[in-house]
Structure 1
Amino acid sequence: MGQFSVIFSRNPGSALSANQHLVAFSGEVDDKESGPDPFTETSKELNPGLNGRDIREAFKLPEYHVLLVANKFQTGFDQPLLCGMYVDRRLAGIQAVQTLSRLNRSYPGKDTTYVLDFVNSSDDILKAFQTYYETAHLANVTDPNLVFDLRAKLDASGYYDSFEVDRVVKVELDPLSKQGDLIAAIWPVVDRLLKSYKAAQECRKIALAKDDAQTTKDAQDEMNALILFRNDMGAFVRLYAFLAQIFDYGNTDIEKRYMFYRRLIPQLEFGCERETVDLSQIKLTHHKLSSKGQRPLALSSSEEATLKPYTAPGSGSLQDKEKALFAQIVERLNDLFQGVDEEDQVRYVMGDIKGQMLKSETLVQQAMNNTKEQFANSPDILTKIMDAVIDASDSHSSLSNQALGSSRVREGIKELLLGHGQLWEGLRQRGEASDHQTG
């Protein structure tokens, strides 16, 4: 039912009569495989012993010692009994400091704390704490009026109107409303925006086939505008969530848009298909823990940290999105390969390997005649990856040796090419271009 990011472990005290757990997350999770109805914190399947109590209060009881959280209780959760934390998500900056600091409350009999981190390096955590350890200076102040400026920009886009905002907010605030009511309220906006993006995408494809440069540019501009609109909504949500803790805006229209955007953003995938990996058949047979020794993490630093304020949110471009995409690719490749320069990894997988596979007539035909999901199940993909790895062994010996010696690496390459690498889309474009030339 989704991934939990942090697990808090409580000091058991003098006795451990039971070891029940609690699950904390915001909103609802709709998972048809686990049950027909959406799940919340109060669902009996997740927290059967909650009985209407607040999770903070229930966690004080002696029968609870483990709290699983997903993007919740990482700030402002004051429970002095916490002594252990298991981290399974990327943490950085102030978020790392706030999350790990949940453990720093003192309590009689609590003489130690521990963090078992499966994701972050000690250098990253040290860097996060150094910023705030001694002295941090603000480079400038954040203008609270930035929220109004960004709201004006989003309203002027014409992608929604005030009636549609009010319709969603009314359902959001109604304690008797159901998930279906919310979908009915927001779907007209979602459907219109998704269709607009799809129409521009199809127009661009046709214009490319006709070699119509101006129409291609116009269609691409429309697609870019929709993507930037979604990015600007995300900027508004982050900015308002931060500044509303400091300033009393006293403006219900601002709060309404915050609620509206939070519901709208997750629905706008704009041509991005979510890639999932089936882990149901994987079984853990063994594991090994090895000590790498102790190392000092000195918090004192000769350099003073400078904290930057919010400036001109919503003024970004698609370059920001491309940088974020590149960072995601690099992060995944770093999980696959060891001891190789990041740019070499990207060039190897997204350049050499993908380039070789795009030349395969077999894969072109399979992509043309199958959906992306069907194509992903083709055994020929891994075969062609192996062929491409062997072909690239002369110029990238270290990377090829790692790929040849590990099925996990080859599966990871396949996942990246089908996801961020858009291999299926590239093969179809090649097939369509070939058909057009033949016709």
Structure 2
Amino acid sequence: MRQAIEEDFIEDVLRNYTTYEEMLRLEDQAQRQVELPKGKASSALSRFAKFHPYLKAQKAVVVLDHYERIVRAHVGGQAKAMVVTASREEAVQWKRALDKEIAKRRSDTKTLVAFSGEVTITHPEADNLGEEYTEPQMNTVDGRSLPEKQLPDEFDKPAYGLLVVAEKYQTGFDQPKLVAMYVDKTLTGVNTVQTLSRLNRTHPLKTETFVLDFVNDAEHIRKDFEPFYGRTEATPTDIDVLFDAEKKLLSHGVIYPAEVDAFAVAWFVVSEPDHSALSGRTQGAFDRATDLADEKLDEFRDDLDRFVRFYSFLSQVVPYLTESSEKLYAFSRFLALRLRERRVGGGLSVDVSLTHYRLTEVATHTIKLGDEEVGPGSAIGGDGTGRRGDIPVTLLGELVELFNQRFGESLTDADAVHPAQALIDHIDREQSGTLRPQAASNDFDDFLRGKEPFVIDGALDAGKVSADFFRGVLDDEDFRRRTTYLAMRVLYDRYRDAPVADH
């Protein structure tokens, strides 16, 4: 990688790497002493927070600001960017959040989304709960659905700026106009390098790359890149570990050889594999896996991921692997993706709500990689398995408290989700007679000018119950500017969408 960068074959994607810190707080709505399995409940809380539509809306503002102000002018005004998400449902919500913000701004930025199959929205606070989406349905051109295979060519057109992805296009996607990446997914190991390397394609007009990372820190990224920067050698690997992993995976009785063979025909023989056909050939294994008890399902998923990981590594360093292992790998990788997106805890419900949120830019880094050659890499050996003990049980209220200590301990009333809404409603009640006619006769930029006094006056009421929120509006120029933009954006849309006579 170092030599390729020095000789201008690829771009250095770590030059402008901006990290963010998310802080949030949840509330146990029911205030009940409910016992839940600790591991599953913790995952459910994390999922609830990560998928929350409010978070996506706030991040969409950051992404569009950055893309439109900094990125789009590159590559002769045709620069493109990718939003990397952790799941198909998140990709859908990201696409919708971006499109809503684009519509609010009346921006000409256009987006596309890439994910496999059909997605049903499950977040309890989503305004589209229960709705189903497919990639072609969400990508429309002149009122017609865009076929999946046409997406790369369509994205290459000057009209498009942002591509939201979930798994697809994070490897092997060659788009030299890609200048920026917005990461909302935990990256680990070689996946870090593969994902960020979508940016490294050179273009005659490409001079910079940018990464905004909402999840990972700079040191974590540096450590993942380091082994690939210089020259590295891996110690010899015992191929028997793959066959042991394969034997253990099949011992669960979930995967049937006949289904693997049928999947292989659809995957290797058909020139354009159809996702519905692949799903159908893994449906039996998927059903049998999800029928397992929770502990057994966890064991199966661990063994499934272990086999996929071992095969992926060994196929690069061992000259020949059996055909049966290759077919099982293709089947297992597809099944693992389906199981990964199954609802955490088998649909475990946690009765909580989001009360506070803050998204803060930490720093923009030039991540330096070492000048010395990297020592020997670690090889795969042993069974790589661990023992499972009893499943810890905790109270939901205690778990929410621990969650808040970790992710929201320093949040104040100024970061509350609801005071902002209370402020907006107060301004609407007190000032609609002045603001509504202005919204009707001006574009948003003109409407926004000179509105900070309205926000300061409106915050006086919020200050009675939220002193920190009031002080934020009064003393913090950046917080006041962001609050003014948010309040006036909501009111502008409210007034433009509703006739005057209805008020």
Counterpart pick for 1:273 among 346, 349, 367 = 346
Q: Is 1:86 aligned with 2:182? A: yes
RMSD: 5.0
Distance 2:328 2:248 in 1: 12
CA shift at 1:104, angstroms? 2.9
Show the counterpart of 2:378.
Answer: 308
- Match status 1:335 vs 2:407: yes
Cα distance change, pair 79–263 in 1 and its aligned pair in 2 (3 A): closer
Unaligned runs of 5+ in 1: 199-222, 323-328, 339-404, 407-439
Shift of the 111–331 alpha-carbon distance from structure 1 to 2, 3 Å rule, reads farther
2:118 match = 29
| Contact 1:11–1:83, Cα closer than 8 Å, also in 2 | no
Confirm or deny that 1:149 pairs with 2:244. yes
Say which SS state the counterpart of residue 163 (structure 2) adopts. Answer: strand
Q: Which residue of 2 aligns with 1:234?
A: 305
SS at match of 2:306: helix
Deviation at 1:230, TM superposition (A): 2.9
| Offset at residue 15 of structure 1 (A) | 4.8
User: How many positions carry a matched residue from both structures?
Assistant: 302
d(CA) in 1 for partners of 2:155 and 2:358?
Answer: 31
Find the aligned partners of 2:305 and 2:156 in 1 and give their Cα distance.
35
1:82–1:48 Cα change, 3 Å:
same
Partners of 2:289 and 2:300 within 8 A in 1: no
Match of 2:171 in 1: 75
3-state SS of the aligned residue for 1:83?
strand
Residues 145, 153 of structure 1: alpha-carbon distance in 2 compared, 3 angstrom cutoff: same
Query: What pairs with 1:98-113 in structure 2 (closer than 5 Å)?
Result: 98-113=194-209
Q: Distance in 2 between matches of 1:184 and 1:293?
A: 46
Q: Distance in 2 between matches of 1:304 and 1:13?
A: 35
CA distances 1:139-162 after superposition (whole Å, capped 9, x unpaired): x13344543332233334444542
Report the equivalent of 1:318.
Answer: 387
Q: CA deviation at 1:83?
A: 1.4
Report if the CA contact (8 A) 2:233-2:377 is conserved.
Answer: yes
Distance in 1 of aligned mates of 2:233 and 2:403: 30
Query: 1:82 touches 1:103 (CA, 8 Å); kept in 2?
Result: yes
CA separation of 1:89 and 1:56: change in aligned 2, threshold 3 A = same
What is the one-letter code of the residue matched to 2:233? Answer: H
Kindly state the Cα deviation for residue 316 of structure 1 after the two structures are TM-superposed. Answer: 0.5
Summarize the Cα distance change of 1:298–1:244 in structure 2 as closer, same or farther, 3 Å threshold.
closer
Q: Given the alignment, which residue of 326, 331, 334 partners 1:255?
A: 326
Q: Distance between the aligned counterparts of 1:18 and 1:236, measured in 2?
A: 46
How far is 1:62 from its partner?
A: 1.3
For the structure 1 residues 250 and 196, does the alpha-carbon distance in structure 2 shift closer, same or farther, using more than 3 Å as the test? closer
The answer to whether 1:20 aligns with 2:91 is: no
**Counterpart residue number, 1:376:** none
Code of the aligned partner of 2:345: C
Q: What is the CA distance between 1:37 and its match in structure 2? A: 5.9
- Give the distance between the partners of 2:265 and 2:364, measured in 1 at CA: 55
- Please give the alpha-carbon distance, in whole angstroms, between the structure 1 residues aligned to 2:129 and 2:72: 28
- Matched ranges for 1:15-414 at <5 A: 15=77, 18-25=108-115, 27-31=116-120, 33=128, 39-40=134-135, 43-48=136-141, 50-51=146-147, 53-138=149-234, 140-166=235-261, 179=276, 189=285, 197=293, 223=295, 227-244=298-315, 251-262=322-333, 264-265=335-336, 266-267=338-339, 272-275=345-348, 297-300=367-370, 304-312=374-382, 315-319=384-388, 334-337=406-409
TM-score, scaled relative to structure 2: 0.46
User: Which residue type is aligned with residue 97 of structure 1?
Assistant: V
Against the structure 1 CA distance between its residues 48 and 248, is the aligned structure 2 distance closer, same or farther, given a 3 Å change threshold?
farther
Q: Percent of counterpart pairs with the same letter? A: 29
What CA distance in whole angstroms lies between the structure 2 residues aligned with 1:294 and 1:60?
A: 28
Give 1:76 deviation, angstroms. 2.8
Q: Give the structure with the higher percent strand.
A: 2
TM-score normalised over the length of structure 1: 0.52
Instruction: Tell me by how many angstroms 1:122 deviates.
Output: 2.0
Larger RCO of the pair (alpha carbons < 8 Å, separation 6+): 2
Q: Structure 1 residues 121, 250: closer, same or farther in 2, change over 3 A?
A: closer
Alignment partners' CA distance in 2, 1:245 and 1:107: 29
Letter in 2 for 1:154: L
Residue 54 and residue 184 in structure 1: after superposition, are their counterparts in 2 closer, same or farther (change >3 A)? Answer: closer
Deviation at 1:178, TM superposition (A): 8.1
Return closer, same or farther for 1:77/1:233 CA change in 2, 3 Å cut-off. same
Distance 1:154 1:34, change over 3 A: same
CA 1:61–1:90: 2 relative to 1, 3 Å: same
In structure 2, distance between residues paired with 1:195 and 1:137: 43
Deviations 1:343-365 (A, max 9, x none): xxxxxxxxxxxxxxxxxxxxxxx
**Distance in 1 of aligned mates of 2:232 and 2:389:** 27
Corresponding residue for 1:419?
none
1:207-259 deviations in whole A, cap 9, x for unaligned? xxxxxxxxxxxxxxxx56x6433311121122223444565757443233234
Q: 2:226–2:374: 8 Å Cα contact kept in structure 1?
A: no
CA deviations on 1:79-129 (whole Å, 9 max, x unpaired) are 221211111112233332333333233323322222111122222223333
Matched residues in 2 for 1:58 and 1:184: separation? 29
User: Is the Cα contact below 8 Å between 1:194 and 1:270 reproduced in 2?
Assistant: no
Say which SS state the counterpart of residue 136 (structure 1) adopts: coil
Contact 2:176 2:201 in 1 (8 A): yes
Q: 1:171 to 1:132 in 2, by over 3 A?
A: closer
- The answer (yes or no) to whether the contact 1:11–1:81 under 8 Å persists in 2 is no
- Structure 2 letter corresponding to 1:336: G
**Deviation string, structure 1 residues 264-298 (Cα, Å, up to 9, x no partner):** 4445979933457799x9799x97866x6776644
